[in-house]
Structure 1
Amino acid sequence: MNENKVMNIAQLSDAAIIHKIGGFVKKKRIDLNKTQDTLAYEAGISRSTLSLLERGEKVNLITLIQVLRVLDELAIFEAFEVGQRISPLEYIKLQKKHERQRVRNTDMAAENPRSEW
């Protein structure tokens, strides 16, 4: 089901995606029982800029971030997190580094002098 949802979003136009984002912001604002004036003030933007965002008009990315921060929805950006990946060669090197090293028992070596063969 999630795959279908992703495919549907990928098929949307840029304008349709911006409209979806605006609808999301508006719904979250209403769910938190905030007016446009209140949310705009808390986000440090004008009410007219917030109105543009909610209507799906183009706004700056920083505006979206400021609004999502106030709405406590910055977790959305976790999808953009880039994790550190180890190359296969580095992985093999790390594995070899952690392989068990042969330990010589020094007590046994002292008891058994070198054989003569």
Structure 2
Amino acid sequence: MTDITHNKYNQKSDSALIRQIGAYIKHHRIELNKTQEQLANEAGISRSTLSLLENGDNGTIATLLQVLRVLDKLFIMDGFEIHESISPLSLLKLQKEKRQRAGRRSGKKDKPSEELDW
């Protein structure tokens, strides 16, 4: 996400963002030529709950996910993936500690095996 996009959403109020999500759901419902009743039944929610969601009233995350699943829009979850990254300094340190060849490690003496009393 670019800084410009990030700032655009930061400047919006929570209610404006919720209304935008509602408009998104309504747009894609109509694009699929589904009534509120049809989409609500497929999502396992009431029509009034879907109506509230489309109008920007607070809903639950579970309800939102149910609706997005029916609309085949769960790819939105890609934005919530966690991508671990390693700093260049940490990477360099790990590479430095990595063994370069087989054999005994330098600076370490072999431990004597148990002495045998014959």
- Under a length normalisation based on structure 2, what TM-score does the superposition of the two structures give? 0.73
RMSD: 2.3
> How far off is 1:80 after superposition?
0.9
> How far off is 1:95 after superposition?
5.6
Matches within 5 A, 1:1-117: 3-86=3-86, 88-89=89-90, 92-94=93-95, 96-97=97-98, 100-101=100-101
Moved over 4 A (4+): none
Q: Per-residue CA shift, 1:49-84, capped at 9, x if unaligned? A: 000000000011100000001111111111111123
Describe the shift of the 1:15–1:83 C-alpha distance in structure 2 as closer, same or farther (beyond 3 A).
same
- Under a length normalisation based on structure 1, what TM-score does the superposition of the two structures give? 0.74
Q: Per-residue CA shift, 1:81-113, capped at 9, x if unaligned? A: 11233464366325642x64279xxxxxxxxxx
Sequence identity of aligned pairs in percent? Answer: 47
> How many pairs were matched up?
101
Describe the shift of the 1:44–1:31 C-alpha distance in structure 2 as closer, same or farther (beyond 3 A).
same
Unmatched tracts of structure 1, length 5 or more: 104-117
